[in-house]
Amino acid sequence: MTLQNWNSKDWMVDFPDIYFEGEIIKAPVIWKIGQVTKYILGNIIPDAIKALKNGGELSSLLLSLALIDYMAGYFVGKGTGEKAYIDFMRRYFPQKYHSYLQSIYGQLRCGILHNLVTHNPHYKGERLRYIISGVSQDHLERRENNQVIFSIPIFIEDTRRAYIMYSYDMVMKAKDNPELIANFNHRYNKLDGESSTMVKIPD
């Protein structure tokens, strides 16, 4: 774990029960946050963990990298690019990530999502040699020859933690973060809410 002293109990949210009927774009924003929370913590993160446990390291990493794009879209209230992706990670990921943000976006996110390799041919920054591991307890540790250990299970946990902290800022610190709320609501309402979450139907 990147932050040994981080405790999820410090980030618990508390709000009254909500019952809502009608067009989802007219739902209270707290209801919308609840839907996205269920999607991320109830579907996406468990799928990433399941893929990892069953030997699907690349699948797990791809899902986690895409999840950051998804969260960054709510964070900025629109489609994402490099700036939104990095800004979200800078705010909600541990300090240890900060010196790697450009290459995480350029080499891992763009490289793997577009080319299925960690050497994106269009990336112009310092080229790191990422050693992707499904079991390592080391994470973002730089070795010789620009080799960097990248632990998928730790990355999944840090991604989960990032969403918990982000949602806490919107729910429990709403008065301090009106722009976060407005951006989230704007992004959620795209295509009448149909671009917000998918429903997993049991087999």
pLDDT value, residue 120: 77
Name the more confident of 61 and 22.
Answer: 61
Mean pLDDT along residues 27-44? 93
More confident residue, 2 or 73: 73
Mean pLDDT of 75-100: 96
Indicate the pairing of strand 141-142 with strand 147-151. Answer: antiparallel
* Residue 60: pLDDT over 70: yes
- The C-alpha atoms of residue 203 and residue 195 are separated, in whole angstroms, by 23
∠ at Cα 10 (7, 15), nearest 5°?
Answer: 140
Buried-exposed string 53-86: b where 16+ CB fall within 10 A, e elsewhere? eeebbeebbbbbbebbbbbbbbbbbeebeeebbb
Yes or no: say if 194 and 25 are a contact pair by the CB < 8 Å rule.
no
Alpha carbon separation from 194 to 66, 72, 187, 191 (Å, rounded): 18, 18, 11, 5
- 9-35 pLDDT, tens digit per residue, is 777 777 677 777 778 788 889 999 999
**Sequence letter at residue 87:** D
- Give the pLDDT confidence score for residue 1 in this predicted structure: 57
pTM over 0.85: yes
Q: Distances in Å between the alpha carbon of 193 and those of 28, 69, 80, 180? A: 13, 17, 17, 17
Local structure of 150: helix, strand or coil: strand
> Any idea where the domains of the chain sit in the sequence?
27-193
- Read off the pLDDT of residues 112-147 as tens digits, 9 standing for 90 and up: 999 888 877 778 888 899 999 999 999 999 998 889
2 token code pair: 């990147």
